[in-house]
Amino acid sequence: MHFAAAPLGASFRWKLGLGLAVVAVGDWLLYQRGLAYGSWGLLALALLAALLAGTPALRRSKPGLPAALAACLFALALTWDPGPLAWTLFWLAAGMAALLARTGRFDDGWRWAQRLFWQALRAPFAPLLDMRRIAKVRAAGHGRRIGLRRAASLLTMPLLGGAVIVALFCAANPILAGAVSSLLSIDTSLVAQGGRAILWTIVFAMAWSLLRPGLLRHPLPLFEGRGELRLPGFSPASITLSLVVFNAIFAVQNLLDAAYLWGMAALPPGMTLADYAHRGAYPLIATALLAALFVLIALRPGSETAGSPAIRRLVTLWIMQNIVLVASSIQRTADYIEAYSLTRLRIAALAWMVLVAFGLATICWRLLRNRSSAWLVNVNLAATALVLTGFCFVDLGTMAARWNVRHAREVGGRGAALDLCYLNRMGGSALLPLLELEQRRGLNPGFHARVQAVRLDAQQRQPVALGLIDMRRQEQARTIAATLPRPDLGGGLRDCDGAVITELPAEPPSPVPAPAPAPASAPTPSPAPPAQSPTQPAAPR
């Protein structure tokens, strides 16, 4: 048995030890502890701590430290409310921190998107790639080799001495003894051990991809979009005429929205405000995005069209009309929510519309102030990151459930009938709004019983708190439920909306066919009367 010493320098061995330490932490958090009480966030903090400990250049990097702080923020978000969004943002920030320690500067979001994408593709195979490099060095015969006997003599004293000291400390400290016992607990089930080994592999690959990241050397540069771009049909006269036509069409649409959405005119017969609002919200956003694309292509900074004062005024007017159009789309969505209900996707759609309006404004500012494409990309990415960061700390399900509960038709609101099945699917997010609804006075008894059934189902389906928000929510729910009378829902199954599932009446048994009649036969002669006995007296005449 030989070990190649050359590639295993002090830094490599230190990173290897950090990776194994993260594996031990991940095993305790995800396997032994059971994905409860912020385990994902604590694992993210362990990964970030290993990155800082194993990358001295990161601790000295001015652009890298803010990325590490952002990763710490998203790790705390995972502790508060674990979810795919916070986990993705954590990996983006941690990957940027690891790579900024090597590049030393941030150029633009387009190049960094490529670097992070390459880092994500490489991450699962990073340990294998390093093992391949070590094998190549060993095959080339570089470095001195350590034989098995020398390795045994080198490792015996540290391992045995460390084991003895740990045993003595465990005997003296019951807390340490319990921790070591839990770390050394072994499940003999073959399936469990296989899953545990897979968990170790995944956690080590995650840690190793941060400790030894792969840097994309030559990302594709950002398309600057300056100067003339000769395209058929994009002459200054054609662009001027197009902008005049576009402004006129947008003015008609904005006037119609102002008349109908803001209550200045009555809708045509047979059309409700909800129908008008829902039909146009998303197509209008697509129209605004196409307008932005047109401006980016036809009015590049430094071009003849961008330098024309008349065209610049027409573009500014058109972008302002696009922003008004986005505001109308927001109003359409709000009207539709008022008529029906609020959902997570509709909240996300509203945020997306705000980002579209911001992007249109930055396009106009770039044209007027002759900003670069990198500035445009970076500003919009920063705004998007800010919105997504807010979503990491806000439960959109609770927000939607609380709005629906307070505006439902059953409580005197102007909204639609409350969709209890949707609240049931939300699980813990709808728990506190359901309790708020359950405490309302004057509810229909049947509806009140359905609300109780849905609340109990949502409360029982999440027995373990995955994050601190779940722990806080469950504690508040128990406190409120203790003040309410105990629900008496009776027996029987209930649907997702809490309604009792009535059993279908049993089908009557199918009639049994009568047996076929027996075939006709010859008549049987009746028996003759018995002969009169001679001693028997004759009947009187």
Q: pLDDT in tens for each of the 541 residues of the chain?
A: 343 344 457 888 898 899 999 999 999 988 887 777 788 999 999 999 999 999 999 999 899 999 999 999 999 999 999 999 999 999 999 999 999 998 888 888 888 899 999 989 988 888 888 888 777 766 665 545 545 555 555 555 566 666 667 666 666 677 777 766 666 555 545 555 677 888 899 999 999 999 998 888 888 877 665 555 566 667 788 888 988 998 899 899 888 888 877 667 777 777 776 666 666 667 777 887 788 888 777 777 777 777 788 888 888 898 899 899 888 888 888 888 888 889 998 999 899 989 999 998 998 888 888 888 888 889 999 999 999 999 999 999 999 999 999 988 888 887 788 899 999 998 889 999 999 998 888 888 888 889 888 888 888 877 677 888 988 998 998 899 888 888 777 767 888 877 888 765 556 666 656 665 655 554 555 555 555 444 444 444 4
Query: Quick check: is 20 in a domain?
Result: yes
Q: Is residue 224 in a domain?
A: no
Q: Are residues 199 and 271 in the same domain?
A: no
User: Which structural domain, as residue segments, surrounds residue 403?
Assistant: 398-482
491 inside domain: no
Q: Which of 348, 376, 392 represents a domain boundary (last residue)?
A: 392
- Residue that is last in its domain, among 376, 392, 408: 392
pTM of the model: 0.77
* Cα–Cα–Cα angle for 406, 410, 412, rounded to 5 degrees: 65
**220-260 pLDDT per residue, tens:** 877 665 555 566 667 788 888 988 998 899 899 888 888 87
Please tell me the distance from the alpha carbon of residue 204 to that of residue 246, in angstroms, as a whole number. 56
Shared domain for 195 and 255, answered yes or no, is: no
DSSP 534: T
- The answer as to whether 538 is a domain residue is no
> Do 266 and 194 share a structural domain?
no
* DSSP three-state, residue 497: coil
352 class by beta-carbon count within 10 Å (0-12 exposed, 13-18 middle, 19+ buried): middle
Please check whether residue 416 is in contact with residue 409, taking contact to mean a CB–CB distance below 8 angstroms: yes
Q: By CB neighbour count within 10 A (0-12 exposed, 13-18 middle, 19+ buried), where does 506 fall?
A: exposed
Secondary structure of residue 145 in the 3-state scheme: strand
**3-state SS, residue 100:** helix
Q: Please tell me whether residues 282 and 202 are part of one structural domain.
A: no
Residue 23 lies in a domain: yes
Q: Does 522 map to a domain?
A: no
Establish if 329 belongs to a structural domain. Answer: yes
Domain termination residue (choose one: 171, 194, 211): 211
- Give the C-alpha separation, 87 to 462, whole Å: 21
Give the number of domains in the chain: 3
- Same-domain check for residues 387 and 442: no
Instruction: Give which of 365, 64, 112, 101 is closest to 222, Cα–Cα.
Output: 112
Are 92 and 389 contacting, i.e. CB atoms less than 8 angstroms apart?
no
DSSP category for residue 500: B
